[in-house]
Amino acid sequence: MSLAEVMVAGERLLLHPYRALYWPRLRWLVVSDLHLGKAAHFRKAGAALPEGQDEATLKRLDLLVGHFRPERLLFLGDLFHSHHNNQWEPFLQWANAQTMELHLVVGNHDILPEEYYTEAGLRTTIGTLSEGPFAWAHEPVEHPGAFSLAGHIHPGVVLHGASQQRIKLPCFWFGEKGAILPAFGMSTGLFRLRPETPDRVFCCTDRAVMDVSNSFDRARKWKEKE
Amino acid sequence: MKGQPPDKGILPKRSSKRKNGKAAPSPVDRWFAEQGWTAQPFQHETWQYMSLQRSGLLNAPTGTGKTYAIWGGVVNAALLDTARAKAPGLRAIWITPLRALASEIAESAQRMCEATGLPWTVGSRTGDTTAKQRAAQKKQLPHLLVTTPESLHVLLSQKGSATLFKNLDWFVADEWHELLGSKRGVQVELALSRLKALRPRIGIWGVSATIGNLEEAMAVLLGVDPDADPDLTSEEFPTGRYDRGVLVRAQISKPIEMHTLLPERVEHYPWAGHLGLKLAKQLLPVIEASTSTLIFTNTRAQAEIWYHHLLEIAPDLAGAIALHHGSLDRKLREWVEHALDEGRLKAVVCTSSLDLGVDFRPVETVVQVGGPKGVARFTQRAGRSGHRPDAVPRIWFLPTHALELVEAAALRTAIGTNNVEPRQPMVRCFDVLAQYLVTLAVGDGFYPNKLFREVRSTFCFQGINAEEWAWMLTFITTGGSSLQAYDEFRKCAMDEDGLLRVTDRRIALRHRMSIGTIVSGASLSVKYLSGGHIGTIEENFINRFRAGDVFWFAGRSLEFVRVRDLTAFVVKSKATKGKIPSWQGGRMPLSSYMAHILRDQFAHASPTTGAAPELIAVQPLIERQRRDSIVPAENELLIERFKSRAGHHIVVYPFEGRVVHETIAALLAFRMSLLKPITFNMAMNDYGFELLSDQPIPIEEAIDNDLFSDAHLLDDLQRSLNATELARRRFRDIATIGGLVFEGFPGRHMKERHVRGNSALFFEVFSEHEPDHLLLRQAYDEAFNVQLDLPRLQAVLQRIAGQRIVLKDPERFTPFAFPIVVDRLSGMNLTSEQVEDRIRKMTEKLEKP
């Protein structure tokens, strides 16, 4: 595993290939867009999907928790996909077995009644959670006076190489006023970003987080010419 | 087809039927005589076989009276059977692949019944039939029913369906060649196996255009004897196992008049491209000279562009030309067909949407834009013209790039002979079987053991074993091992009597709604804001739009407004430029036979031997190729190597068609990627394929290592990424047909990406937890046998093994290479490098000045 390190707003953040962010000073582990229960959600809507995805998602979370031993695990929205279904219970079990603090910044898909979260021991914040120089919210919006950290859009980038090669990968995106985390959940799709100056972009492979900001140099140089 | 044909087609001697001098003419004979018509020999022959209760296949082109040939037999038999003539109940089913044809076929049957005094009702039932008509049919079906495979299966899903068919005497499958190679053909086979069990003496007739395997086509339709011992090791056509039928051939072959639109100066005609618009001006006199002309293009987008372009260069054609393709609203299409029939249109730009259908007498000329990819398709299209007495089919070939002139020369030699491609029947389509089993369970239910025998009597499932059958039953009752936990997949249950049925009304409703084997990519309907449906368009295309964007559709300039409830709303636009929708599909594979005659033309493409006008015209290009590289002879395989700013290119020319090239390209790329970590980008056309890399390609080393060997073929293909991806794509349709994925209720369709996402998820889960899943296996089988055409690939590799490999290093792109390099579609990548290394290279490269 090869992690990347980034300094923003005077704080050091670690980016993990599993598409998670770690804030060492306060020992926060942050993940976004798990979309648990999505398969079951679609099954109820008539699309009969098998499961197994949620289990894998939670397993990766266990590995991260074991690695960082965080004090707080922050879900940056879209933890559970819409209405209650039978996939909530495995999550509830998992949550109740945890010792660290669990915190959810509510996303557009988090529409369960509050008592569900209470039962799972999840603290919830609607809107923005402020901590240190950061404003933590589900949807990427500007927060004057703070550096915003968000999820929601499932960011990805396409890298181009010689001889018409291209790769599409999930990524962390860091702009001047905020950053966006990749989706932690499986099979959630990617929204392609087109980074501009002076954005920093870190893409995730299975084994590494890599700084690919200078891949977008070409666009940058072209802009400068104008 | 090797071996003994099922029947020699010798009729009993006339004298044996004649007892007192002369046989009385049949009622249909008399009617023909009254009309002053002379029955054709094949019509007589068909009537006679049908009077003997025989089954068979009639090989006759459209517009030759094949409908009367079959209906005549049905009517004659009915009139002889006076005891039952007046009784109500369904007596004959006529299957047509095209619902637009149903009414015409019903009309001609009606005419014949009335004229011969047979008191029968005739009706049709297709997806277009109104609810009211369907309700009336539910009370009482007509004597003759014209319907589609899908609608027939819907009938089988009704309660009490067995009683509907208790008087059935005849089953006719029209345009059988069209159904044969598709899963709709399998639907016909399955329905027939049921009908044969209910009515063992039913007469079965197919009607087919000329294809390369007529006898096999008949065997597929008539089915097999499930009790006969299958001798699958035999190379011979296993006659004993198949029901015997008669093959009636209409010996009508009108010669085809073929012309080619030759570019005035071939040196200046594009080397690449697929539109051919440069020749549009030259086409105008051709259109002018005929009452009506059909202009066939290979894709819908091409049709839109051509329509638009013709109006631009000849504004006086406005109102006299029209557009016809499968995405247009049915009413628009019907209007076009009607206007064409009445001779009100000078030309119609169309796609395969007009390959079949009623004959338009005013059509005197057909134009084929671009290579038709197969001789059968070319002659079929030519046959859409020349339906007036004494007229002959006339077709103009319009090449879209210079090398297509060689294709024209190949077609010219081919239509002179009677060689056409065979249509391969689909086998072991477990998705269709799963759907069919639930269809029966929704209806009256079925006893598994009894049905097993029926299913084994179809050509498609003759090889299904008890284990597979048991798996199918588990699949529809519990969902199979990996889905057992979910109620949604428990569709059928067995009652105490041993009958398998669906009891849940919601499941029944949902199933009836999804009967069919044509899985449409999710499409949106296109409507004006002010109302008025224009057609349908693929979701992927419209998703790229923002309000205000302009696109061309149905020959009109439209401005996109918004999407709501799966409808794209538009207003008319005055803009003259706009995007053209690209629809999926459209790229047709080059048939093996076509590939063969094409290679032949190239091998002999020298002015001394090439007498065809197209070959003479293309000489400057051939000369250039010869100067810069070589024109490969029959026993040579040409490989060209270039270096350009894009990287290192290798171009290989097997001349086997795009589909085969796609596979060989992946195979070669994979084998070379074993030699060193390297990433390839691949591109191909019908003549060859290109591998492009950012580093030198180890082609010489690869050739020394048996690059084209067919050893470990399956293994290498599976590992060349390609296979899993192809199987995954095939699986989407299979999951939908097999009932795993529900496309949604009418008007409430699931979004395309959801359907795709869901089937992808099933694919993953089955791959991991139930690798023996029959639907998963089917996806791989289809990927290998249908899509990759493994048998053909093996034959190609063996052919290459006997060839001498010629490696050339031309200084510039050759005429052969140019269309491949230019038409490159990015995206197909194969790599043996670590993704991290690739990222590193991509980011480092750009830091250099």
Per-domain residue ranges for chain A?
A: 4-225
Chain B partners within 8 Å of A218 (Cβ): 846
Q: Range with the lowest mean pLDDT among A111-120, A217-226, B408-417, B448-457?
A: A217-226
**Radius of gyration from C-alpha coordinates of chain B:** 28
Nearest to B845 among A53, A162, A206 (CB): A162
Residue B618, domain member (yes or no):
no
Asked if A143 contacts A133 with a C-beta cutoff of 8 angstroms, the reply is no
B776 and B679 within one domain: yes
Shortest distance, CA B765 to any CA of chain A (angstroms): 7
Chain A partners within 8 Å of B768 (Cβ): 52
pLDDT at position A226, please?
40
Q: Is B499 a residue whose pLDDT tops 90?
A: yes
B284 and B159 within one domain: no
Per-residue model confidence as pLDDT tens digits over B705-714? 888 888 888 8
At B236, is the pLDDT very low, low, confident or very high (cuts 50, 70, 90)?
A: very low
Q: What does residue B188 show for φ and ψ, rounded to 5 degrees? A: -65, -45
Q: What does residue A68 show for φ and ψ, rounded to 5 degrees? A: -90, -25
What is the ipTM score, two decimals?
Answer: 0.76
Residue B500, domain member (yes or no):
no
Shortest distance, CA A93 to any CA of chain B (angstroms): 19
At A51, is the pLDDT very low, low, confident or very high (cuts 50, 70, 90)?
A: low
B266 and B185 within one domain: no
The string of DSSP codes covering A47-72 is ------HHHHHHHHHHHHHHHH--SE
- Residue B92, sorted as left (phi over 0), alpha (psi -120 to 50) or beta, turns out to be beta
pLDDT at position A220, please?
47
Nearest to A163 among B510, B647, B836 (CB): B647
Q: What does residue B731 show for φ and ψ, rounded to 5 degrees? A: -65, -25
Residue B795, domain member (yes or no):
yes
B355 and B272 within one domain: yes
Chain B partners within 8 Å of A164 (Cβ): 646, 681, 692, 824, 826
pLDDT at position B756, please?
60
pLDDT at position A77, please?
92
Domain with B118, as residue range(s), is: 30-224
Give me the percent of chain B exceeding a pLDDT of 90. Answer: 36
CA distance B442 to B507: 8
At B460, is the pLDDT very low, low, confident or very high (cuts 50, 70, 90)?
A: very high
CA distance B200 to A27: 78
pLDDT at position A218, please?
53
At B23, is the pLDDT very low, low, confident or very high (cuts 50, 70, 90)?
A: low
**Domain boundary, last residue among B386, B416, B446:** B416
pLDDT at position B17, please?
41
Q: Is B505 exposed, middle or buried (0-12, 13-18, 19+ CB in 10 A)?
A: exposed
Q: What share of chain B is helix, strand, coil (3-state, %, to 5)?
A: 45, 15, 40
B342 three-class SS: coil
pLDDT at position B220, please?
94
Per-residue model confidence as pLDDT tens digits over B51-94? 988 999 999 876 678 889 999 999 999 988 888 877 888 999 99
Cβ separation B846–A215 shorter than 8 A: yes
Nearest to A161 among B648, B762, B845 (CB): B845
Per-residue model confidence as pLDDT tens digits over B547-569? 888 888 888 888 888 887 678 88
A-B CB pairs within 8 A amount to 109
CA angle B198, B200, B202 (to 5 degrees): 100
pLDDT at position A139, please?
93
- The letter for the amino acid at A137 is A
Nearest to B835 among A47, A166, A205 (CB): A205
Cβ separation B765–A46 shorter than 8 A: no
Question: Partners of B350 in the beta sheet?
Answer: B296, B324
pLDDT at position B237, please?
43
Chain B partners within 8 Å of A48 (Cβ): 483, 486, 488-489, 740-742, 758
B402 and B266 within one domain: yes
Highest mean pLDDT among A135-139, B1-5, B36-40, B63-67: A135-139
pLDDT at position B847, please?
43
Nearest to A163 among B681, B758, B836 (CB): B681
- Identify the residue with better confidence: B680 or B232: B680
Mean pLDDT of B829-839: 76
Chain A partners within 8 Å of B489 (Cβ): 48
Q: Is B315 a residue whose pLDDT tops 50?
A: yes
Mean pLDDT of B826-839: 70
Q: Range with the lowest mean pLDDT among B141-150, B197-206, B374-383?
A: B374-383
The string of DSSP codes covering B263-301 is -S-GGGS-SS-S--GGGHHHHHHHHHHSSEEEEE-SSHH
Cβ separation A47–B755 shorter than 8 A: yes
Q: Is B694 a residue whose pLDDT tops 80?
A: yes
CA distance B482 to A49: 11
Q: Is A72 a residue whose pLDDT tops 80?
A: yes
| E strand or H helix that includes residue B526 | strand B523-528
Report chain B's mean pLDDT, rounded to a whole number.
Answer: 84
Q: Name the residue of chain B whose CA is nearest to A161's CA.
A: B842
CA distance B652 to B201: 56
Q: Range with the lowest mean pLDDT among A61-70, B361-370, B388-397?
A: B388-397
B300 and B209 within one domain: no
Inter-axis angle of helices B183-198 and B214-222, to 10 degrees?
50
Sheet holding B363-369, edge to edge: B257-260, B394-398, B363-369, B292-296, B347-350, B321-324
Q: Is A193 a residue whose pLDDT tops 90?
A: no
CA distance A87 to A55: 10
B785 and B638 within one domain: yes
- Other C-beta atoms lying within 10 Å of the C-beta of residue B487: 12
Q: Name the residue of chain B whose CA is nearest to A49's CA.
A: B758
Cβ separation B826–A214 shorter than 8 A: no
The string of DSSP codes covering B397-419 is EE-SSTTHHHHHHHHHHHHHS--
Among B514, B576, B588, residue whose Cα is nearest residue B550: B576
pLDDT at position B741, please?
78
pLDDT at position A188, please?
62
CA distance B809 to B600: 24
Cβ separation A50–B760 shorter than 8 A: no
Alpha helices, DSSP H only, in B417-465? 430-442, 448-456
Q: Is B241 a residue whose pLDDT tops 70?
A: no
Q: Name the residue of chain B whose CA is nearest to A215's CA.
A: B843
- Identify the residue with better confidence: A84 or B148: B148
- Identify the residue with better confidence: B548 or B745: B548
Cβ separation A218–B829 shorter than 8 A: no
Q: Which residues contact A141 (CB under 8 A, 6 or more apart)?
A: A148, A150
Domain with residue B320: its CATH number is 3.40.50.300
Shortest distance, CA B53 to any CA of chain A (angstroms): 47
CA distance A10 to A166: 34
For an interface test with B, give the residue of A159, A164, A216 to mutate (most B CBs within 10 A): A164
Nearest to A208 among B510, B648, B836 (CB): B836
B562 and B664 within one domain: no
Tokens of B133: 């008509």
- Other C-beta atoms lying within 10 Å of the C-beta of residue B521: 15
Chain A partners within 8 Å of B760 (Cβ): 187
B725 three-class SS: helix
Cβ separation B842–A217 shorter than 8 A: no
Among A186, A153, A170, A157, residue whose Cα is nearest residue A76: A153
B207 and B270 within one domain: no
pLDDT at position B285, please?
95
Chain A partners within 8 Å of B762 (Cβ): 49-50
Q: What does residue A34 show for φ and ψ, rounded to 5 degrees? A: -75, -30
Cβ separation B827–A161 shorter than 8 A: no
**Measured CA distances, A102 to A74, A97, A209 (Å):** 6, 11, 25
Cβ separation A161–B694 shorter than 8 A: yes
Q: Does domain A4-225 have CATH number 3.30.160?
A: no
The answer for B 27-56 residues in CB contact with A (under 8 A) is none
Residues of A with a Cβ under 8 Å from any B Cβ are 39, 42-43, 45-53, 159-167, 169, 187, 189, 203, 205-208, 210-212, 214-215, 217-218
Number of structural domains in chain B:
4
Task: Give residue for tokens 């072959």.
Answer: B253
Q: Name the residue of chain B whose CA is nearest to A204's CA.
A: B836
CA distance A144 to B787: 56
Distance from the first to the final alpha carbon of chain A: 41
Mean pLDDT of B387-400: 86
B842 touches chain A (CB under 8 A): yes
B283 and B196 within one domain: no
B262 three-class SS: coil
Q: What share of chain A is helix, strand, coil (3-state, %, to 5)?
A: 25, 35, 45
pLDDT at position B250, please?
86
B202 and B133 within one domain: yes
pLDDT at position A33, please?
93
Q: Which residues contact B268 (CB under 8 A, 6 or more apart)?
A: none
CA distance A100 to B138: 66
Mean pLDDT of B361-374: 90
Cβ separation A52–B768 shorter than 8 A: yes
Chain A partners within 8 Å of B694 (Cβ): 161-163, 165
Chain B partners within 8 Å of A205 (Cβ): 835-836, 839
Mean pLDDT of B806-817: 92
Chain A partners within 8 Å of B847 (Cβ): 214, 217
Report chain A's mean pLDDT, rounded to a whole number.
Answer: 87
pLDDT at position A64, please?
95
Cβ separation B741–A167 shorter than 8 A: no
Mean pLDDT of A102-118: 92
Residue B463, domain member (yes or no):
no
Highest mean pLDDT among B172-176, B525-529, B682-686, B746-750: B172-176
Q: Name the residue of chain A whose CA is nearest to B826's CA.
A: A164
Nearest to B761 among A49, A208, A210 (CB): A49
CA distance B498 to B441: 12
Asked if B542 contacts B568 with a C-beta cutoff of 8 angstroms, the reply is yes
pLDDT at position A222, please?
44
Q: Name the residue of chain B whose CA is nearest to A160's CA.
A: B842
Chain A partners within 8 Å of B845 (Cβ): 161-162
Q: Range with the lowest mean pLDDT among B416-430, B633-647, B807-821?
A: B416-430
Question: Partners of A15 in the beta sheet?
Answer: A4, A21
Mean pLDDT of B210-234: 79
